[in-house]
Structure 1
Amino acid sequence: MSDVTVARQVLDVLADHGATTVFGLPGVHDLAFWGPARAERGTDPAPVVVRHEQTAVYAADGWGRRSGRLGAAVVTTGPGAANAVAAFGEAAASHSPVVLVASEIPAAAARSGRFRGVLHESRNQAALFAPLAKAVFRPRTPEGVAAVIAEAAATALRHPRGPVYVDVPADVLGRPAAAEPVAAGSEARRTQPWASISGAVDLLAGRRVAVWAGAAVLDDAEAVGALAGRLGAPLATSFHARGLPGSLGVPPHEPEVAAVIGDADVLLVLGGDLDGMNTRNWTMPRPPVLVTVDPAPPADPPEWTADVALTGELRGLLRVLTERVPAHEPWFPADLAARVRRGLDADASTLLDAVDSRPDGTALVCDMAVAGYWAGGYARVTEPRGLAYPVGWGTLGFGLPAAVGVASTGVPTLVVCGDGGLVMGVGELATLVQERLPVTVLVVDDGGYGMLRYDQTRAGVEHRGVDLVTPDFVALARAFGVEATDVPALDGLGEALRKALATGAPHLLRVAARLTPPRTTSPRWHEG
């Protein structure tokens, strides 16, 4: 492979592990990633150029969430790497399989234990990522890169999934690659004792079961639906698992849904996500018996101890449970979700009706904004991986950058954001045009940080820091070459949205509205 650089080898190995699109920015230290393509390879990833390093990782995260494959990003040294930290944290909190490769200062200029003020130098760049990363790799030679890059990709993809950080000196990236990359170690095969499976069956048999599904089961949607149907159980999901067939489609934060879950005899949790944001910091009603099924033991001790915890190959475990548990008639109200939707705030319902009018197959991305909270928790999601929502770390500004990654998988995409979050990544409107991405940006403009304004209003304090000067979003979008429409009111949003999506081209819709936050937001968790 003497004609292949280390940077080219890195991209090839990431592609071999599923990252056929890579996101990044060129910098003086990582230009090797933008070297010549390899004509002999059928798959030859070249980085999609975005406008900010934070976007590179958000987009890789969005790619991974939508595709179910490895997301990948490349950034330059120092401030370039530092710019990516917030997005890397979101990937960590949401268990997204992402590999971030950053350059480091040239090995020829580095001195062990000394800070010399070399361009972009920091004392320990990897230390920025270590508290968030599933693993950190710091190869310093071509042989070192070849030895670890496949393992980095495989580590990100193993359950429990998470982002992996790799840094390579700039002068190593441009050197000839080592002969062949070392294959990743195979994942140990897990087998579950039959006694544990029998124990789970005994706990489930003949009882009212509520099923909770998390992100780890997204590739086994049919098996999850079959088991829930066999048990006659309501199927609630975490935010990340929305879109599973047969699921309720409304969040467990709603009192009627929480009451049904709490009335069950057993909570069967498939694929995790029993985290604070999904469970109201573990204060949601919980049945007396807990059974969990996961592909691997959790990285951290769970807050709720299971009576039986099964770990192993999910599809096989779900099949065995479905075969062995006796059938049970549905015991929950068939119109539960419809009743919840009928009780929602009128303006929120109008927004949701508009979002729900998008064609099937249109991916939905939501930012941390009041409109995003409504869409992320309540909008129609018709397929697994149909929603990308940053509820893991709560990173404002996720929406448009993540939509770059989602749309790069080849699907039309609707992103719902607020004015505050959009401004954080507004430069990515240029990326939409440059990459010809079919993204419709819906910005619900409430003139500031609407959620924080609501918090201050509830606390009875003066509004400070929450009312902002906002640009003319329609004019701004057009300046980037994006078609844009100012929608006069929420009741005209559905038609405008359908027209925008039908063009298959980048489009921005702006509508002015101030919405009350939904019950999925923490200030409303415990309202009656």
Structure 2
Amino acid sequence: MTHDHDLVLRPTAAQTAAALAPPPGRTGGDLVVETLRGLGATTVFGLPGQHALAMFDAVRRSDLRFVGLRVENNTGFAADAYGRITGEAAPLLLSTGPGALTSLAALQEAAAASAPVLAISSQIPVAGLGGGRHGYLHELKDQQASVRDIVKSVHTVRAASQIPSAVAAAWESALTAPHGPVWVEIPEDVLRAETLLPQVTGVDATPPELPPRPELTALAAHLLTGAERPVIVAGGGVVRADAAGKLKQLAERLDAPVVTTYGGKGAFPWTHPLSLQSWVEDRHVTDFLEDADVLLVVGSGLGELSSNYHTFAPRGRIVQIEADLGKLESNHPALGIHADARLALQALLETVGPREDTDAPNRVREVLTKVRTRIDAQDLGAEQELLASIRAALPDRSPSFWDMTILAYWAWAGFDARRPNTMHSAQGAGGLGYAFPAALGAAVAEPGTPVLAVSGDGGAMYGVAELAAARQYGLDVTWLIVDDGGYGILREYMTDAFGETAGTELTRPDFVALAESFGVPAVRTTPATLTADLRKALAAPGPSVVVLPAVLRMFAPTHQ
């Protein structure tokens, strides 16, 4: 009998000849690039720094596409979006110390959203490691310690021969469910030193699958088939696993209403008769979820927002499918199924019996009517009209990226994403400045598809330098900046909590003139002309900016 582990891949004659006579002048940086190419990478994001120059020189001499933004954090956001859109690991090349540390907020968002980012950072020379007292530029006492709490895995290199295996292991980790950011650290002298190692030609980093245990899906199928009032909560894991089609099949077979979390936008058709949409901060929806006798939670940890600020108190049985073991039953007891959402939903489809509930669409309509009545009573028509204007202007296939701003909070609950994996925001970690650089990464991932970014004026200031990157690479991104003169959502929070504000009012530039100074077309719009101006901007090739002066208000959530 032959076992898989007994098989040895024998080199061909050509591979042997190439291994015995490697091209001269190659460095550790070339080993990084060759490994990335062998793994299937076509694009790398990054920002050069002194210790990392050998990597960037190797990229220059390769056929990899290099995309360089102006700030490491923004570069990380761009890589995050590239990973979300393509489902591939997005290489992010960083320098030591300040360069590495500046990327951390972006990596935190990638971790929260399960975006596969492969960060490869330089380090001071090997002889200087281990003390933080050698006086090297950019030196940290323990650079790995700064990232270990954020990324999925850390992979260290101390010799050139370790590079291919370390990069391949990190790649596999980034793409193993749940996806996430990973870190590879390589000292400067290892990157710079000439290597006589053969060119990297055989790299395999196929991530293992995460199937459900059959006894668990059998029990889950039994509970769902026999339920009187089953309901499904679809989280970001459904989108990451490309499982929206299987979710729809299961919901229809069970006649089970579906609510999507903010991270799960687009996982279920918005106008479907079983769709409760995304009003997870509304007490009417929370009550409906609590009344379910079996609640199937797919790809969500039922965290702060998805649980209506932890006021959700289920009375029925919960079945939770989650690829992140740390999120399994982390907030509520459940029949926990540690699995990739797509594989688990497929197992349920093969196991559940038919179930008919002709009243389910009526119950869904009743809840949505209650939500609509409550929202309409708050005199917030202008905000809803703005969302409708954006939806009317944005092509269905176009991704949109939303910063932490009032209009994005509205979009989380009330925007029809129409397709899976087309609406993204920074609600995972909640940092400012995500939308525009992330949209640039999406435009790199899907050339020719117009991309929309939505920011407030406060968040926009985090990314204005990337107007230069957008212009340099001619990326098809339209940036809508809602200018309300400050941090609008924090203004509301502070006013509600303390009666006054502090630090929320901002001096800001003329965004139209600023964009034009970068050679980026820009226009100042109004609510009445927003749809037309956005359509024109999205249809034009290259970057553009649309500025909307407006002071918006949030709808009142109901937690009780």
One fold, TM greater than 0.5? yes
Residue deviations 1:101-136 (CA, integer Å, cap 9, x gap): 11111335x154351111111211121111112111
Alignment partner, residue 199 of structure 1: 219
Cα deviation per residue 1:478-499 (whole Å; 9 max; x = unaligned)?
0111100011x32221111111
Aligned pair 1:490/2:527, yes or no? yes
- Report matched runs for 1:95-114 at 5 Å: 95-108=114-127, 110-113=128-131
1:35 pairs with 2:54: no
1:260 to 288, 292, 301: 288
1:75 corresponds to 2:94: yes
Relative to structure 1, the CA distance from residue 32 to residue 300 in structure 2 (aligned partners, 3 Å threshold; closer, same or farther) is: farther
d(CA) in 2 for partners of 1:477 and 1:38? 29
SS at match of 1:241: coil
Paired with 1:204 and 1:21, the residues of 2 have a C-alpha distance of 44
Write out aligned runs for 1:278-293 (5 A).
278-293=306-321
Which stretch of the first structure deviates more once superposed, 166-175 or 412-421? 166-175
Q: Any idea what SS the aligned residue of 1:482 has?
A: coil
Q: Could you tell me how far 1:83 is from its partner in structure 2? A: 0.9
**Greater CA drift, 360-369 or 287-296:** 287-296
Q: Which residue of 1 aligns with 2:450?
A: 412
The verdict on how the C-alpha distance between 1:470 and 1:138 changes in structure 2, with shifts beyond 3 A counting, is same
Q: How many residues align?
A: 517
Question: Is 1:236–2:259 an aligned residue pair?
Answer: yes
Does structure 2 retain, via aligned residues, the 8 Å contact 1:483–1:506? Answer: yes
Give 3-state SS (helix, strand or coil) of 1:516's partner: coil
> Separation in 1 of the partners of 2:291 and 2:129?
63
CA distance in 2: counterparts of 1:280 and 1:301, whole angstroms: 17
For 1:273 and 1:431, how far apart are their aligned partners in 2? 36
Match of 2:554 among 513, 517, 521: 517
For the pair 1:446 / 2:466, whether they are aligned, the reply is no
1:70-93 Cα shifts (integer Å, max 9, x gaps): 122111111111111111111122
CA separation of 1:99/1:301 partners in 2, compared to 1, >3 Å: closer, same or farther?
A: farther
Distance, in Å, in 2 between the alignment partners of 1:391 and 1:296 is 18
The answer to whether the Cα contact below 8 Å between 2:322 and 2:328 also exists between their aligned partners in 1 is: no
Q: What is the alpha-carbon distance in structure 2 between the residues aligned to residue 139 and residue 23 of structure 1? A: 21
Aligned: 1:462 with 2:500: yes
Unaligned runs of 5+ in 2: 1-18
Structure 1 position 116 matched with structure 2 position 143: no
CA drift of 1:234 comes to: 1.5
2:178 to 160, 169, 181: 160
CA, structure 1 residues 288+409, in 2 after alignment: closer, same or farther (shift >3 Å)? same
Corresponding residue SS for 1:117: coil
Q: How does 1:275-424 map to 2 (within 5 A)?
A: 275-295=303-323, 297-298=325-326, 302-306=330-334, 308-312=335-339, 314-323=341-350, 324-330=352-358, 331-333=360-362, 334-335=364-365, 337=368, 340=371, 343-344=375-376, 345-357=380-392, 358-410=394-446, 411-424=449-462
Tell me, yes or no, if structure 1 residue 475 matches structure 2 residue 505: no
Moved more, 148-157 or 269-278: 269-278
Counterpart in the other structure of 1:272: 300
Of 168, 171, 174, the match for 2:192: 174
- TM-superposition CA deviations, 1:308-366 (whole Å, max 9, x none): 22334544432332242222225143545577457352121111011101111111100
- Give the RMSD, CA atoms, in angstroms: 2.4
CA distance in 1 between partners of 2:323 and 2:129 (Å): 43
Deviations 1:11-38 (A, max 9, x none): 3433554543221111222122332569
Structure 1 CA distance for aligned equivalents of residues 371 and 467 of structure 2: 36
Distance in 1 of aligned mates of 2:286 and 2:207: 37
Bigger mean CA deviation after superposition, 78-87 or 280-289 = 280-289
Q: What fraction of aligned residue pairs are identical, expressed as a percent?
A: 34
Could you tell me which amino acid in structure 2 is paired with residue 79 of structure 1?
Answer: P
Structure 1 residues 314 and 460: CA distance shift in structure 2, 3 A: closer
1:217 paired to 2:238: yes
Counterpart amino acid of 2:338?
A: T
Secondary structure of the equivalent of 1:131? coil
Structure 1 residue runs without a partner (length 5+)? none
For the residue of structure 2 that corresponds to 1:33, the secondary structure is: helix
Matches of 1:101 and 1:501, distance apart in 2 = 34
Aligned partner of 1:246 in structure 2 is: 269
**Is 1:66–1:388's contact at 8 Å kept on the other side of the alignment?**
no
- Higher-Rg structure is 2
Residue 473 of structure 2: aligned partner:
435
What's the offset of the Cα at 1:301? 5.5
Amino acid at match of 1:351: L
Alignment match of 2:78 (pick from 30, 45, 59): 59
CA separation in 2, counterparts of 1:18 and 1:282?
Answer: 42
- Is the Cα contact below 8 Å between 2:82 and 2:444 reproduced in 1? yes
CA contact under 8 A between 1:148 and 1:182: conserved in structure 2?
no
Q: Is the 8 A contact 1:56 1:74 kept in 2?
A: no
Q: Is the 8 A contact 1:150 1:182 kept in 2?
A: no
Asked whether the 8 Å contact 2:278–2:413 carries over to 1, the reply is yes
Return closer, same or farther for 1:494/1:203 CA change in 2, 3 Å cut-off.
same
Is the Cα–Cα contact under 8 Å of residues 429 and 480 in structure 1 kept in the other structure?
yes
Q: Which amino acid aligns with 2:88?
A: R
CA distance in 2, matches of 1:135, 1:163: 8
Alpha-carbon distance between aligned partners in 2 of 1:191 and 1:71, rounded to the nearest angstrom? 25
Judged with a 3 Å threshold, the aligned counterparts in structure 2 of structure 1 residues 130 and 192 are, in CA distance, closer, same or farther, namely closer
Which of 149, 153, 157 is the matching residue for 1:139?
A: 157
Check the 8 A contact 1:151/1:184 in 2, yes or no: no
